[in-house]
Structure 1
Amino acid sequence: MSIFSVLNRLCTHSHRALLTAVCGLFFGLVCSLAVAMPVQASSLKAAPWYRVEVMLVAYQNEETIDNELWPDAINTQPPSAEVYQQYADAEDHYNWWTNSTSTKETKALAEFDFSQVPTASLPTALTPLEHKLFADKAEKINRRRDMQVIWHQAWVEPIQDEKHAIQHPIDVELSGPFTIQLRGTLQLYVSRYLHINSDLTVQHYQLEESPELAALNLPSSQSAQTDYREELYSQESLSLTEQKIIPIRSAHIQQSRRMRSNELHYIDHPMLGMVVKVIPIETEADIAPLEDNQ
């Protein structure tokens, strides 16, 4: 069963308010800040800020997945050091006002009669948000046997054009009837419409038990058996590194979707479902919107 038939439509906010913002004029950065004067309509334009939430759901029904033929394995690596570095650089760039040390940005603000850096009313960019709009849906999905949430994050981001889009690295694993490894990147950008691009590799595999463990007479109870094996694997002589990885199936998922803000979007694949919602930040209430449980 697809995630489409599992999730319900979520509510959207229709509040309209003028962003209060201070812009680092030479750096193309805009942020909602607690300042006295609102930005006028004729002010310089910069990338708007959005609340982004993405939930990735791994499908585990092998009978359904194997309706198609898949390669056993794809040679894949974790996101490169360059991807992690550009992500860290983006955090530094968009969160410069949180650093109390003197920088060229604070000096530039001083030239425009700001004696100190204003305090931000937004969370820092790219920092995971505690409040998640899909939290209840994720809990319901995780109670199912045929799918599990493998990655779920919400954050604030000034979404750029495609050339300057931020790559979000993903490298996670999910245990279950078989192990699911998910690696790759997501990026969002604006080109008239909002867009999300995914470049992800899904690998399903099993671990073959070491000969020492396979030869043991384990308890017949499944729960006791599981506990007993965990205890054994905690010993140095039977570490998980001694197990042999048996690939089952894999897929390279490259998808692109045009989106509208405030709408819930589903992007599906036989091995992986993606749920995305992007909300323009116009008031602080947009940081923690309410979920429609109808």
Structure 2
Amino acid sequence: MPRLFSALLLSLLLSQGVGAQDASERWYKVELLVFEQPNGLNAEQWNPLPELRYPDALRFLVDPRQLEAARNRYGSASHVDSRGRIVAATTAPGLGGVHADALGAPEDATPLPSAFVKLPNAEQELRDTAAYMQRAGGYRTLFHEAWLQPVTDASRAIPLALDTSGDTPTWPELQGTITLSLARFLSLETNLWLNTQGNYLPSGWQMPAPPKAPPALLLNSPLLDDGSAAAPVAGATQGNLGTVQSSPQQKAGDGIAEAPYPYRHAVLHQQTRRMRSNQMHYLDHPLLGVIIKLTPLETGEVAEPAQDE
């Protein structure tokens, strides 16, 4: 693993906190590929008004480079919270000025790897497959990431957002969440939609704009010498962390004018699939194809990445 990426993962491990492994959790390496099927838009008659929503509680995948950008701009107290949101801050909350980087794990804790952190592209088993599909088959990759995570029973499973639309003034093509859970079988639940130009619909018709995800980037106000909060300055997004001039306590999108919905329609992919580990699973859909593989990590393998980092 490249040295820079290893350092960023170690930083994430400390900022998220390290605890003893929950015996009821099973850890997996997850690889997910979402792609657009060629000629899929005209494959069938789509619901003109699909019910699109994000769940009330969700979490995000963390890009270590986005955290690094926040720390370069705001200081090393910028950290990742329990839902994968990057909190850009100059003082870590509740630490009395102690940087999160200085915190270690309890001596008796079993080290855990950083969950829900995007792995380097070299860790993706489907890289060559995805490239071939695009080159030879006309399939278009919309999302392709790999990460580690514990998988719990459905009552504790938290949906994972694939987009960060809450940090931007406009809408990405692909939005929505997936949820992984474990009972007798592994289970994948998809709640994804693809925003389209709607050329298959009557001319001039446009559906209402779909919702956006909650913010994945939070800006924390540093305290000034007199104990008051710094004046907010809007305009930070995950894409321009290096250019923001201050750290307001607000979501990143606050103060950014909302752009008009640039699409006319959205096609929903909503399925539930039982799965087995160590196998590729394909969820068929006329427009949005999904390939996923979950590889179980044994106890030694769970601790090993954290120790290596």
Superposition TM-score, scaled by structure 2 size: 0.51
How far apart in 1 are the matches of 2:60 and 2:119? 21
How far apart in 2 are the matches of 1:187 and 1:86? 13
Given residue 159 of structure 1, which amino acid in structure 2 is its aligned partner?
V
Given residue 58 of structure 2, which amino acid in structure 1 is its aligned partner?
V
Tell me the equivalent position of 1:176. Answer: none
How far apart in 1 are the matches of 2:259 and 2:148? 41
8 Å contact from structure 1 (residues 186, 198) kept in 2: yes
Tell me the equivalent position of 1:83. Answer: 58
8 Å contact from structure 2 (residues 61, 160) kept in 1: no
Tell me the CA shift for residue 141 of structure 1.
1.6
Give the 3 Å change call, closer, same or farther, for CA 99–158 of structure 1 in structure 2: farther
Match of 1:183 among 175, 178, 187: 175
Match of 1:256 among 272, 275, 278: 272
How far apart in 2 are the matches of 1:137 and 1:200? 22
Give the 3 Å change call, closer, same or farther, for CA 149–244 of structure 1 in structure 2: closer
Q: Percent identity?
A: 26
How far apart in 1 are the matches of 2:263 and 2:61? 34
Is 1:154 aligned with 2:146? Answer: yes
Tell me the secondary structure at the aligned position of residue 173 of structure 2: strand
8 Å contact from structure 1 (residues 51, 280) kept in 2: yes
Tell me the equivalent position of 2:114. Answer: 124
Give the 3 Å change call, closer, same or farther, for CA 124–86 of structure 1 in structure 2: closer
8 Å contact from structure 2 (residues 151, 180) kept in 1: yes
Tell me the equivalent position of 2:46. Answer: 70
Tell me the CA shift for residue 91 of structure 1.
4.8
Given residue 270 of structure 2, which amino acid in structure 1 is its aligned partner?
Q
* Cα RMSD, aligned residues only: 4.0
Given residue 42 of structure 2, which amino acid in structure 1 is its aligned partner?
D
Given residue 259 of structure 1, which amino acid in structure 2 is its aligned partner?
M
Alignment of 1:94-243 (within 5 A): 100-101=102-103, 109=106, 114=108, 120=111, 123-130=113-120, 131-144=123-136, 146-171=138-163, 181-205=173-197
Greater fraction of residues in strand: 1
Tell me the CA shift for residue 67 of structure 1.
3.5
Deviation string, structure 1 residues 63-101 (Cα, Å, up to 9, x no partner): xx4241114564746x47842489942459xxxxx9643
How far apart in 1 are the matches of 2:143 and 2:119? 14
Give the 3 Å change call, closer, same or farther, for CA 188–270 of structure 1 in structure 2: same
Point out where structure 1 has 5 or more consecutive residues left out of the alignment: 1-21, 31-44, 93-97, 174-178, 209-240, 289-294
Tell me the equivalent position of 2:219. Answer: none
Larger Rg: 1
How far apart in 2 are the matches of 1:140 and 1:86? 26
Superposition TM-score, scaled by structure 1 size: 0.53
Give the 3 Å change call, closer, same or farther, for CA 246–46 of structure 1 in structure 2: closer
8 Å contact from structure 1 (residues 58, 149) kept in 2: yes
Deviation string, structure 1 residues 110-152 (Cα, Å, up to 9, x no partner): 5xxx3xx56x4x6411101111111111111221463111001
Tell me the equivalent position of 1:18. Answer: none
Aligned residues: 191
Deviation string, structure 1 residues 193-229 (Cα, Å, up to 9, x no partner): 1111001122211799xxxxxxxxxxxxxxxxxxxxx
Tell me the secondary structure at the aligned position of residue 151 of structure 1: strand
Give the 3 Å change call, closer, same or farther, for CA 276–84 of structure 1 in structure 2: closer
Give the 3 Å change call, closer, same or farther, for CA 66–84 of structure 1 in structure 2: same
Is 1:270 aligned with 2:286? Answer: yes
Give the 3 Å change call, closer, same or farther, for CA 182–143 of structure 1 in structure 2: same
Deviation string, structure 1 residues 22-41 (Cα, Å, up to 9, x no partner): 973xxxx34xxxxxxxxxxx
Deviation string, structure 1 residues 131-183 (Cα, Å, up to 9, x no partner): 1111111111221463111001111001011011121102389xxxxx98221
Is 1:59 aligned with 2:51? Answer: no
